Amino acid sequence: MQRVSFRPFIIFALIAAVVVTAGVVLYWRQVNILLERDVKTHIADAGREAAADFDRLVQTDRDILNTSAILIEDSYPWKEGQLPEMLARLDQRDHFNLMGVALDNGSVVYAGPSVVPLSKEAVADVLTHTAKSDFYINVFPPTSKYKTHIMVQAVALDPNDATPVGALFSVQKEIYYREVLALSSMGADGHAIIVNRSGDVVLAYEQLPAKNIFSILQRYTLDANMTMDGLRRSLAAGDTVLVGYYTPDNLHNFLQFVPLSVNGWYMVSAIPANYVEAQATQVAKLSLILFGIVFFVFYLLLFFIFRVRDDSNRQLFATAFVDPLTGADNFNRMCEQFASKLSGLNRQAALVIFDINKFKVINDLHGYERGNEVLKSVAQVLQTELQPEESFCRLSADNFILLLKYEDRRSFLKRLKALATQLKRNCTVAESCLVLDVAFGIYEITEDVPFYIMLDRAHLALEHAKTRTFDKCEFYDEADRNRIVAEQQIENSMEAALASREFEIYLQPKCDFVTGEILGAESLVRWNHDGRVVRPDEFIPLFERNGFILQLDMFIMEEAARLLSTWQANGLPVVPLAVNFSRLHLNDARFIPQMRRIMAQYNVPNKLLEAEITESVIFNNLERAQEVISGLHLYGFPVAMDDFGSGYSSLNVLKELKFDSIKLDKEFLSGFEENPRAQKVIEGAINMIKTLGVKVVTEGVETREQADFLRKCGADLAQGYFFSRPVTVSTFEQLLQKRTLL
């Protein structure tokens, strides 16, 4: 009987053991690298989160103090006993541990009688700093009055926008910020402290061995890539810094320094040694268990490794490159294959983005499940209609990207229209009256530019296509890119232009129809930029979109107030000036207070500045407009409805809102000379407005015939080229000296 030799098996087992052991060693090294990187990421995220939470808490307190300060300032000068009553009402929200007002004479008024007052030193510090800065924040150590650290925040009270009369302050105890300093995202293992840029501890979660972070770190060994001087420089510069150091028992710990938004403070987040050691111990145990399992079942699992690997590869491929809803390629797959697909089409191709217009309506009416079925049907149609060398992917929601063969525009548009018809036929929601409406943005690939630039250009074309009523196919035009570049240049220079007073006020007179006497003017804006005058229609719509119009409107208003003040001081004739305000001001709580502050600053009566609000803005936000108009009237500002008759006119607006004057839009008057019906409509509109006791101002009066007709209809004031174009301030002053333009 032949004896079976186990030598090959033993040798194989030894080789396998060596291989597995070497693999485990390499694995353990890699785990250590990954563990350290994970710890760094963890503490960095926790530090940033804690800093953001702290900043949000401070900002919330600041907003509450600013709101409360406005309420208190509006009642200045305060009657006897009024200030404590107001503070008591504000303090009912229980947001702060203590609220009070420190007056400039050193006295303090608190929200209630049963409070622990601030020290004289703290009150003096509040008054000193709020006299120089809008906001004050500081931390005071425990005293006999307060057993814990307290955070004091304050804002100046300057009801006349002059020298502050005191400061509104609040007190929060240390417990209010303790959760942030506890680094809750790291359980009970992490904590944080707040230091200033000199390293002095401002606020700590627990007792520290020293009061300066640099003194604490001197006891340890910093990582080779960091020195104490380097850390000081980084903190002085306001940088975010991750510092690693070794304890005497050679444990590697980390500190994350994140700058806060106040006082140049830093949030310093720390992971103690036991956290890192626990992580390492857990990984070590798992590694040993894994080593034992791998070693003893190595032969058993050998067959399954390849199978699991193949399954994993398929799963990873599906996760990385397949859209889970439609089963089609996703954007990652499109990016990965784009160059090869484009080469396969000999670069004679077009990149197309299309989406389903108002797809949200399908989801709202029929539910997301039916909406998903529509998207699956769209993918099936595309898979059927596209040629093998072409490709498509689902970008997101109802957006799809197509790379299609391209020869000429005519045949390409014909193909897209056929595709749109096929989509409407096969993808419309069953038992629904909704018809699928798609829009295409097309970029002809004529340049060797990166894929993302092609995608941006197709996106731009799509935005234009969606504005069309029919045949929603739009090719990318270089003029679109030039427009975007021009808008970007305007946005880059608008702040500097406002600071350097490139924006200039122009005035267009409002005249009496009969005498031609100047009874007012509208304030308009012109931009003198790089030697040319930029037209308002080039920058006003952009400023409306990016919000800069809020600053520009207030600049124009201040220029108008300055001009009125100059006329008063120099004995010149003074007429009311109108300023047109954007719709954005309706939702800005600072709108009316800013107007009052500016008028008070220049000592001009509020009645001399008229606020013009566009009719479309009023129509779209009637309730808010009513609040704003009432507020303006409360402080004596006249209010005009601008552009009446521009397409949104509503009798409900006239019924609900009280205007001092209504300006008829020039388009409302356009062509009435040859249209008797238009004349009757205009005459009826003017008579109706006049019966409400409201003045009628007509814009765009360009001829004597127009002026005579509008005068007969009963219009009060005229504004237009027949009397005067918009002119510079100096020219307007010369016209004002004449008093009449007829």
Mean local confidence (pLDDT), 266-290: 69
Q: Which residue segment(s) compose the domain that 411 sits in?
A: 321-476
Q: Of the segments 68-72, 367-371, 604-608, which one has the largest average pLDDT value?
A: 604-608
Query: At 549, which CATH number?
Result: 3.20.20.450
Mean local confidence (pLDDT), 251-276: 81
In a shared domain, residues 447 and 519: no
Report how many domains make up the chain: 3
Instruction: Dump pLDDT digits (tens) for 66-80.
Output: 888 888 888 888 888
Rounded to whole angstroms, the Cα distance separating 55 from 262 reads: 8
pLDDT computed for residue 173 by the predictor = 80
pLDDT computed for residue 4 by the predictor = 41
In a shared domain, residues 513 and 639: yes
pLDDT computed for residue 392 by the predictor = 92
In a shared domain, residues 570 and 661: yes
Domain boundary among 177, 199, 226: 177
Domain boundary among 177, 205, 238: 177
pLDDT value at 673 more than 80: no
Mean local confidence (pLDDT), 524-531: 89
Instruction: Dump pLDDT digits (tens) for 412-451.
Output: 999 999 898 888 887 766 656 566 788 899 999 988 888 8
Rounded to whole angstroms, the Cα distance separating 248 from 233 reads: 26
For residue 577, being part of any structural domain is answered with yes
Both structure tokens of 124? 């003096």
Query: At 170, which CATH number?
Result: 3.30.450.220
Rounded to whole angstroms, the Cα distance separating 352 from 681 reads: 48
End-to-end, the C-alpha distance of the chain in Å comes to 135
In a shared domain, residues 502 and 590: yes
Domain boundary among 177, 212, 236: 177
Kind and range of the H or E run holding 502? none
3-class state of residue 194 by DSSP: strand
pLDDT computed for residue 498 by the predictor = 92
H helices present in 586-695, as ranges:
591-601, 615-620, 622-634, 651-656, 666-669, 676-691
Beta-ladder partners of 356: 438
For residue 262, being part of any structural domain is answered with no
For residue 471, being part of any structural domain is answered with yes
- Percentage of the chain beyond pLDDT 90 is 23
**Torsion on CA atoms 72, 589, 539, 463, rounded to nearest 10:** 150
pLDDT value at 302 more than 90: no
Both structure tokens of 47? 């530090």
Query: At 389, which CATH number?
Result: 3.30.70.270
In a shared domain, residues 512 and 622: yes
Averaged pLDDT score across all residues of the chain: 83
Beta-ladder partners of 173: 150
Residue located via tokens 């707040």? 194
pLDDT value at 8 more than 60: no
For residue 198, being part of any structural domain is answered with no
Rounded to whole angstroms, the Cα distance separating 506 from 537 reads: 15
In a shared domain, residues 373 and 447: yes
In a shared domain, residues 437 and 539: no
Phi, psi of 669 (to 5 degrees): -90, -10
DSSP 530-567: TTEEEPHHHHHHHHHHHSTHHHHHHHHHHHHHHHHHHH
Rounded to whole angstroms, the Cα distance separating 304 from 302 reads: 6
pLDDT value at 3 more than 70: no
In a shared domain, residues 553 and 702: yes
pTM, two decimals, is: 0.47
Residue located via tokens 């093998």? 388
- Percentage of the chain beyond pLDDT 70 is 86
In a shared domain, residues 539 and 450: no
Rounded to whole angstroms, the Cα distance separating 210 from 451 reads: 56
